[in-house]
Structure 1
Amino acid sequence: MKLHKTYISIFCMIILSLLMSSCDSFLEEKPQDEKTAGQFWKTEADAQSAVNALYFGGVPYLNNTDVDGGWTPKATMWGGVMSGLFVDKRKDRTFTNASEGCNFNIESFNSTALKLWHEFYKGISRANFVIANIPTMTGVLSDTQIRNFTAQGKFFRAYGYFYLVKEFGDVPYVDQPYTSLEGIYKEPSSAEQVYKNIEADLLSIIEGDALPNKAFYDNGCYVTKAMAQTLLAQVYLQWAGAPLNGGNDYYTKAANMAMDVINGGQHILEQASGSSDSIYSAFNVIKTTKTSKEIIFAKEYNQTQYNVGNSYACRSIGADAFQWNVFSPGGDVLYNAYLPCDMLINSYLVADIRSHEKQFFFWEYTGVDKNNVVVTKRLNNIGNWAWFDETSLKTGKDGDYNMPTFRYAEVLLIAAEGLARTGKEGDAAGGARFYLNQVRTRAGIPNETATGDALIQSILTERFHEFPLEFKIWDDIRRTRLYPEEDGMNSGKLKWVALESAKIQNKPDGSIRVGAIPAYALLWPIPLSEMQANPSLQGHQNPGWN
């Protein structure tokens, strides 16, 4: 566990003065022991706290980042809101209203883009300090510690750049810590070169023994070999598709890397031989426990012990639940900032456990109200059970549940897609349907027998059905340039249609608009303040953003 106070003053000081407009306090705490740059990197505690800081800034902090303040979707949700497949029901913020209105202009999206840009580079900066300074601590750390800590820095640098390149395309690549203003203005590197740098970082730590071959929770929630392999499998899958269109070579690399995780033997599907649809189902075990070997990486929270809580609970249900006389949420607000569209809910097979009550979603709540009376209530709109936390909502505090980031189910589906796209469709080990059907079996639905494009569409549908609240859909739309449309009530299927001609959901709320998402909106605009501050960025705005 890393949920304890750490020294980050050096990071905040340098990032604040050189790269960022602000420095978010680590874990919402103010360190009582602050060190200057000259005092840091002297003890094992310094090294450990610098490594710990990697897990709570940068990409992991997207789970805590919002824009315009207050009751808004978290940064993790922004892609799903832009897609129209999920709806922010509050509708009182510029970004979400512009997304529904298809007003894809830089004025509406600039402040949101700036939040992403700063958070990614903040995490990268922290990683660069670790990578540069840990190897100098030979008299303080063992060789094993140096290799492991450096590997964790490389993982998070790769993680940060993977998100940057997905979201913005060509970006400046910085691989050394800034200790002065000299050389801070860098021109963008091509997206392909950034991907190559990410690949090099990850391959360098996957090879050898710098990272343990353990499950995430067995390793104290620090970086493992499977985490690095899973990230690289995701990188290859994205690289294979648009806009780089790496094709079959990278689909093969994605499948092979996913199968390396599978063959590593540290992770499993929770209740892999099948699951009930009760409160003790696989999906509820994944939600409520911190032991599941399905989890390859999760964003950690622990409100009870460390006052570092998960704030998704208030976003799990609509404001109507506030009238039940049951909940006292933080800020006295309940709002569903990420309501799934009806098309998604209606596309699951009736037998699919994931669509059943209190698995991923829910309609009814039974509990004790503030008058100590047992009540049963029904929501006006479906709620997100994967985020629902009764204790949090009743106490007005954030919750303790971790947020899954990489799951073994995704590894199986990456293997399935990479193999299917390269003609290896079989039902035995090494074939696409073999890995796909493990996920389907756990969900309680029949094995897939399709071939060709129908098999690929089935895999894409399975990704959407398996990870509706884990923020994968925008990446899938972006890399495939396909958008899901309905294909029959409770059919278990979706039609994946070319984005430019697809029927886009909720443009605005409750309406369908064909071709409502322009291709240029799949990349964020470079923030205007960054372009003004960095002369090397001028003239490099992503096309389409006026």
Structure 2
Amino acid sequence: MKRSFKYIATGLMLLAVSACSDSLLDKEPISNFSGQGFYKKPSDAQAGVNGIYNSMQSLFRLNFAYWGEGRADNVTTRHSGDPFALQQNTLTPIINSARWDNFYTLVSRANYAIKYTPQVFGDGDSDLKRQLLGQAHALRAVAYFYLVRIWGQVPLITEPYESVEQELFVQQNTEAEVLAKVEEDLIFATENCASNYSGARNRVLMTKGAAYAFLTQLYMWQKKYDKAIDAAEKVIGDSQYSLVSMSDWNDIFVKGTSTESIFEVGYNETQTNALRILYAIGSDSDYVPSSRFIASIEPGDLRKARIYDVTEVQPRKIWKFFGQGFNDESPDPSSNNIVLTRLADIVLLKAEAHAQLNQPTEALDLLNRIRRRAGLSVMDEAAANNLYGNLVTAVLHERSIELSFEGHRWFDLVRTGTAISTMKPVNGLTDQRNLVWPIHESAVLRNPNLKQNEFYK
């Protein structure tokens, strides 16, 4: 099903207010605007939030894989440019994935929406007002969560830039300061976003469940395992989310908006992404499965033939996002949605949190839900220790296979402290300061208050 954000706007209006004009329902996303001059009525607030989603499309269309997979062990590449630099760990301040411009475009639009949406609705309470504010806070939180995981210390900007009297040359905040705002925004979103919307909108708009899912990721990054478990339970206990059958596993990505999906970045034939360039062009894609990844798959795993082309001695095509047997060599842009989080992600994060807290019964129950679907034998603690050294590592291995190429692997390695031990044999990674990206030279040249990350000075 192909979606446009015009339809998202329409659906949300129909859910929230019944007396809206046709012009409101037809409002398109906007690219650039002055908040003071633009926000006059509820339809403007809706268009402003649509503009944040539009920014998210640009932000993740290619780089979700560069940031989340390109520096990790599951992929290899023959390409020059960013794919080669990331894989060889030769990052410099001029590589494209070191740019954070699109993040701050998203943040700017969110800041306008957060400031001006209350003004156009007045003092009265409104479901639409709360939902729009909840979505704006959640989207800003996701942007800052990625910013910290990629660059470490980044500027925390929470007000729109509207006056020459405001500080133009912002300074970087600590990771703790930025992540505190991420948590605050996501908690606000859990309290104000809608629980669900109708149809496909339910997976491409921010909901309470999506906010709790990103909270789970945040708490795991911070090693706040009890809080991660509490947030994950809100998602797992929500009846609108369920694991799909193995026969429908590829449809999570090919068709999109499955019962397993929690939040997707929506694309269509007009608003496209680079999934095919990243993974589908068998003779010349950015990434292919590494020999290390292939060797790590357990015998009998039903996911194997659904992840990559098993007919080739040296697999050159990743089928996961396009369907088993996909053989289209076209470099045309893709209209598939990009799934940022789904139920299997949250189930395995909760399993990992229980394992970290030495609660093996709970951890194994969750881990085996995913293993059984993949056709694998049920694992006990002894088997986990024998195969993977300990239960935490067994869960991380399961995440590596289940969530392969979805943009999680590098972040999993970093947050668990295993990036250096995993990647040193691959590309010589040895320095903790090297785990973040360099800040792109264009940002440093524009802003004299920015300090380049230490490793890249």
TM-score by length of 1: 0.72
- 1: CA distance between counterparts of 2:357 and 2:183? 21
Q: CA deviation at 1:387?
A: 2.9
Aligned-pair identity in percent equals 27
**C-alpha distance in 1 between matches for 2:120 and 2:340:** 32
Aligned 8 A contact 1:410 1:463 in 2: yes
Deviation track 1:265-318 (CA, whole Å, cap 9, x = no partner) reads 2201012xxx3xxxxx12122133344110001121221xxx223432244345
Return the alpha-carbon distance in structure 2 between the equivalents of residues 265 and 152 of structure 1: 21
Q: Aligned pair 1:287/2:253, yes or no?
A: yes
In structure 2, do the counterparts of structure 1 residues 343 and 216 end up closer, same or farther at CA, with 3 Å as the change threshold?
farther
1:72-91 aligned at under 5 Å gives the runs 74-89=63-78, 91=79
Alignment partner of 1:473 is 2:409:
yes
| 1:225 aligned partner | 208
Separation in 1, partners of 2:86, 2:277:
22
CA distance in 1, matches of 2:31, 2:410: 41
Distance (whole Å) between structure 2 residues aligned to residue 392 and residue 4 of structure 1: 32
Alignment map for 1:34-49 (pairs within 5 Å): 39-49=37-47
Q: How does 1:261-300 map onto structure 2 within 5 Å? A: 261-271=235-245, 275=246, 281-300=247-266
Equivalent position of 2:452 in the other structure: 541
What is aligned with 2:308? 361
- Cα distance change of structure 1 residues 214 and 439 upon mapping to structure 2, 3 Å threshold: farther
Cα distance between partner residues in 2 of 1:206 and 1:395:
41
The 2-side partners of 1:266 and 1:159 are apart by 22
Which of the numbers 80, 87, 93 marks the counterpart of 1:92?
80
The residue number in structure 1 matching 2:299 is 350
Indicate whether 1:524 and 2:445 are aligned. no
1:253 partnered with 2:222: no
How far apart in 2 are the matches of 1:164 and 1:298? 19
Distance 1:423 1:118 in 2: 42
Alignment size in residue pairs? 430
- Give the whole-Å Cα distance in 2 for the aligned partners of 1:284 and 1:413: 19
Q: CA deviation at 1:351?
A: 1.0
Q: 1:308 aligns with which of 265, 271, 291?
A: 271
Say whether the 8 Å CA contact 1:215–1:226 is kept in structure 2.
no
What residue identity is the alignment partner of 2:59? Answer: L
Q: Is the Cα–Cα contact under 8 Å of residues 72 and 410 in structure 2 kept in the other structure?
A: yes
**1:392/1:50 CA distance change after superposition, 3 Å:** farther
1:406 is aligned, of 323, 331, 341, to 341
Structure 1 position 436 matched with structure 2 position 367: yes
**Distance in 1 of aligned mates of 2:397 and 2:326:** 33
Question: Which structure has the larger Rg over C-alpha atoms?
Answer: 1
Q: Note if contact 1:318-1:381 (Cα within 8 Å) is conserved in structure 2.
A: no
Matched-pair contact (CA < 8 Å) for 2:242–2:343: yes
Match of 1:50 in 2: 48
Distance 1:392 1:136, change over 3 A: farther
CA distance in structure 2 between the aligned counterparts of 1:34 and 1:253, rounded to whole angstroms = 38
Q: Which residue of 2 aligns with 1:382?
A: 316
Q: CA deviation at 1:96?
A: 3.5
> 2:397 matched to 1:461?
yes
Q: 2:157 matched to which residue of 1?
A: 174
| Residue 222 to residue 141, structure 1, CA distance change in 2 (3 Å) | farther
TM-score, normalising length: structure 2: 0.85
Higher relative contact order (CA 8 A, sep 6+): 2
Shift of 1:56: 2.6
Are the aligned partners of 2:210 and 2:263 in contact in 1 as well (CA < 8 Å)? yes
Quote how far apart the aligned CAs of 1:380 are: 5.2
Q: Give the distance between the partners of 1:32 and 1:191, measured in 2 at CA.
A: 31
1:336 correspondence with 2:336? no
SS at match of 1:227: helix
**SS of 1:261 mapped into structure 2:** helix
Name the structure 1 match of 2:176: 192
Which one has a larger percent strand, Structure 1 or Structure 2?
1
Question: Is the contact made by 2:232 and 2:347 (CA closer than 8 Å) also made in structure 1?
Answer: yes
* 1:151 aligned partner, one-letter code: G
Do the aligned partners of residues 349 and 527 (structure 1) sit closer, same or farther apart at CA in structure 2, a change above 3 Å counting?
same
Alpha-carbon shift at residue 222 of structure 1 (Å): 1.4
Contact 1:170 1:189 in 2 (8 A): yes
CA distance in 1, matches of 2:211, 2:29: 30
Structure 2 residue aligned with 1:329: none
Q: In structure 1, what is the equivalent of residue 379 of structure 2?
A: 448
User: How does 1:55-204 map onto structure 2 within 5 Å?
Assistant: 55-58=53-56, 60-65=57-62, 74-89=63-78, 91-93=79-81, 95-104=82-91, 108-115=92-99, 117-138=100-121, 143-181=126-164, 182-204=166-188
The answer (yes or no) to whether the contact 2:215–2:228 under 8 Å persists in 1 is yes
2:354 aligns to what? Answer: 419
Residue by residue over 1:34-91, the C-alpha shift from the partner in whole angstroms, topping out at 9 and shown as x without a partner, is: 9765541123332222111212314x433324xxxxxxxx4522442223531222x2
CA 1:140/1:401 → structure 2, altered by over 3 Å: closer, same or farther? Answer: farther
* Separation of aligned partners in 1, 2:398 and 2:422: 22
Q: Which of residues 174, 189, 192 is equivalent to 1:205? A: 189
Please, which runs of 5 or more residues in structure 1 have no aligned partner? 8-29, 66-73, 241-249, 276-280, 321-334, 365-377, 484-498, 508-514
Superposition deviation, residue 141 in structure 1: 9.3
Structure 2: distance between partners of 1:516 and 1:155: 33
Note the aligned Cα RMSD (angstroms): 3.1
Q: How far apart, CA to CA, are the structure 2 residues paired with 1:405 and 1:348?
A: 23
Q: State the AA in 2 paired with 1:202.
A: L
Q: Give the 3-state SS of the residue equivalent to 1:516 in structure 2.
A: coil
User: 2:12 aligns to what?
Assistant: none
Instruction: Give distance in 1, aligned partners of 2:328 and 2:123.
Output: 45
Using the TM superposition, give the Cα deviation of residue 533 of structure 1 relative to its aligned residue in structure 2, in angstroms: 2.5
After TM superposition, give the deviation of residue 519 of structure 1 in Å: 2.1
- 1:237 positional shift: 0.5
Confirm or deny: 8 A CA contact 1:295 1:408 kept in the other structure.
Answer: yes
Cα offset, 1:440, TM superposition? 0.8
Counterpart residue type for residue 205 of structure 1: A
CA shift, 1:180, in A, is 2.2
* Deviation of 1:190 (Å): 1.2
| Alpha-carbon contact 1:170-1:190 (below 8 Å) kept | yes
Q: Answer whether contact 2:42 2:121 (CA < 8 A) is retained.
A: no
Letter of the structure 2 residue corresponding to residue 40 of structure 1:
F
Tell whether the 8 Å contact from 1:226 to 1:296 is kept in structure 2 after alignment: yes
Query: 2:15 matched to which residue of 1?
Result: none
Going from structure 1 to structure 2, the CA distance change for 1:2 and 1:392 (only over 3 Å counts) comes to: farther
Distance (Å, rounded) in 2 between the aligned partners of 1:461 and 1:228: 26
Match of 1:504 among 421, 425, 431: 425
